[in-house]
A and B are shown apart, each in its own frame.
Chain A
Amino acid sequence: MSTQGDLLHTVTADTISTRRRRMGRAMVWGTVALTATLATLQFAHDAGTLGWGFDNWRPVLYAYLLWATALCAAQVIVHGERGKRALFVLPAALFVISLVVFPLLFALYISFTDWNLASLSGPQPNGWDNMRQMWGDAFYWNALKNMVYYVAAVSVEYVIAFGLALLLNAQIRARKFFRIVFLLPLMLSPVAVSWMVGKSMLEVRFGPISRVVREMGFEPSFFGSPEMARFMIMAMDAWTFIPFMMIMLLAGLQALPREVIEASKVDGASGWQSFKEVIFPLMLPVSVTAIVIRIIFKLKLADIIINVTSGGPGGATDSVTSFIFREYRDRSNVGYGTLLAMIYLILIILFITALLKVVSRWMERPA
């Protein structure tokens, strides 16, 4: 790892002896050898060719940790001062690579097997069978379609959040109180929210909202019809996450140059005009950031669905995550579930990349 184009320049005169350099290299390769040996032994033990071995892969994990430490230490031993710089990024990089890249490669392998944790036979590669099964799985496509609805709901959340941010930015008393109160829903765990709102307040017989609906002369049924159930899930999710967008937008509003808005007032713009012509265009970058991050969070939506409707009625509220969760929970179908998740990941990457492309092109266009 070499460095160039530093913002913070340092001049160091390290004299590193060849012995020291050799020692550093030896540390790294020694631990690599140890990890590899342990892993091979364990493989042989698991496959049954070797009689003795450890109960689990823990020793391999420890050897791996030892290697990671040795690699970090070796940076300083081999490169001296220059290595100390690498030490800033290396731990985090190693952490992410070992926790994301390896599992993802492993997931790729699992997704082409018929692995079912309930069966005793272990994983058997089954080629494109999972893919074919997915092609015919109406519930999966339905879940993907639901995700489109859920993501579309972000636009409504954005409008509400912008309105609230404008309110909080106005000349009001007790601003801190309102800010804290508006922030509270974000602090609550989705699981608690699904009980508090989904299961108790929307309870058909005694829930306070059902009572209000009945007073108004309707028969309350919040999770009966697919559209209504989907709307309820959207509303609950929006309730928790609107503060998130609101705060980002509020920060944007507070960073706006005051002179520009005052100038528009002096020029005789009405409140609506100065919002439309001045504030909103200036807020575009912040809005885009807030919306993109919110969409990313939205794509992970699952907790509320799992706990309130578990996908019902008839899969109408299923998100991809909750569907795969049940696929594992009810059928222990690891292989198929992982394939669905991998496909979902690919779709997400494509979608987000396209979104960012469109956004950046659109932002560069002179307004």
Chain B
Amino acid sequence: MTAVFKDHASDRQVKVKWWSSRVAIYAALILWAVICLFPIYWTLTTSFKLAPDVMRGNMIPFVDFTPKWKGWESLGFSPRLIGEVSTVREEFLKRFWNSAIVAVSASTLAVVLGSLAAYGLSRFGYRFGFMRNSDISFFFLSQMILPPVVLALPFLVLYRSLDLLDSRVGLILLYTLMVLPIVIWIMRDQFQGIPVELEEAALVDGLGIWGAFCQIVLPIALPGMVAAFILSLVLCWNEYFFAALLTSTDAKTLPVMVASQTGSQGINWWSMAALSSAAILPLVIVAIFLEKYIIKGMAAGAVK
């Protein structure tokens, strides 16, 4: 703003205009922040409520109602139960563990496969039948439009004959397939930003192409890989459709557990709220601390 003299009438007008735009911007920001945060706040507080609190619509802990551990007790997590053996907690931890293993392995596999492919496609010219580089890239990226439902039923039958139904390996394979195009998309963008001269120098110094890739290119592309990894992690952790169809007891993941509880328990709100909170908490923490990478991952490829 160019207002230098603060006492003139026209300057004061500029100031009013500036202030009103400030107020409008912050009002809009705060409104949307409330829209984003309220469901999370509601779920977290509800997990500490008892039935009467829910029915009376009490909102603020310690003012409207006294927080109770009842909801978390139904998961086996409360100061009273934490030392004891609890079957519900074991059940929950098993699902949690399944989700974690599946999401982490699938993301790792996708990042490894995807980075290699993206690097190859960004550096060398391939010919496979009639397919050139751009066709191969398109082939990989076009997997993104494949709706899961097309693969779900054939996989159900295939996994049954391969004895992979209700196993983590089966889920890992499918999740890798699901996030691979996204990883390739992000990583291609990353590798294209790295100058070829770096690798040429490495080749002159006597490294092979794989040596140059591992020692020179990988460290530079690491932030991009982390971004792709975290984005895949989020997608895999939240995946419900395949997990609901392909798992039943052993490999059931957290979203399936949450979904199966919504149907059966009716109005048992505190335990549902505790379960939902526990299911979303890891990713909320990831979002808070690794927000930079998530944004980087999604921004890559959007801007050319």
Contact = CB atoms under 8 A, between A and B. Distances in A.
Interface string A251-293: 1100100000000000000000000000000000110011001
B92 interface: no
Nearest to A243: B36
Nearest to A348: B145
B279 A189 contact: yes
Interface stretch (A21-29, A220-228, A339-347, A357-365): A339-347
Given A92-B117, A248-B299, A206 B54 contact: yes
Nearest to B288: A180
B255 A191 contact: yes
B81 interface: no
A182 interface: yes
Contacts of B184: 92
Contacts of B55: 205-206
Nearest to B262: A195
A199 B302 contact: no
A85 to B, nearest CB: 5
A285 B155 CA distance: 37
Interface residues of A, number: 104
Contacts of B234: 186-187
Given A1-B128, A248-B298, A251-B302, A184 B36 contact: yes
Contacts, number: 308
A130 B71 CA distance: 48
Contacts of A86: 120, 126
Interface stretch (A56-64, A134-142, A151-159): A56-64
Contact of B245 (A199, A286, A325): A325
Given A194-B262, A341-B150, A184 B284 contact: yes
A190 B28 CA distance: 25
A247 B295 contact: yes
A13 interface: no
A89 B154 contact: no
B100 interface: no
Given A55-B163, A184-B284, A189-B280, A92 B303 contact: no
B55 to A, nearest CB: 5
A81 B177 CA distance: 29
Given A99-B177, A100-B143, A324-B149, A190 B124 contact: no
A49 interface: no
Contacts of B59: 208
A348 B287 CA distance: 32
B114 A110 contact: no
B39 A201 contact: yes
B125 A6 contact: yes
B225 to A, nearest CB: 15
Interface string A292-309: 010010011011001100
Contacts of B147: 299-300, 320-321, 341, 344-345, 348
A183 interface: yes
A58 B29 CA distance: 55
Contacts of B291: 176, 179-180, 183
Residue in B124, B176, B209, B283 whose Cβ sees the most chain A Cβ within 10 Å: B124
Interface in A308-367: 320-321, 324-325, 328, 334, 337-338, 341-342, 344-345, 348-349, 352
A41 B143 CA distance: 33
A15 interface: no
Contacts of B63: none
Given A182-B32, A325-B149, 19 more contacts: A3-B124, A3-B127, A7-B122, A57-B161, A81-B208, A172-B26, A185-B36, A187-B280, A188-B283, A189-B255, A190-B240, A196-B42, A206-B54, A206-B55, A251-B299, A296-B145, A303-B240, A324-B149, A328-B153
10 contacts: A89-B126, A100-B151, A103-B151, A110-B154, A167-B32, A180-B288, A185-B39, A187-B284, A192-B280, A328-B152
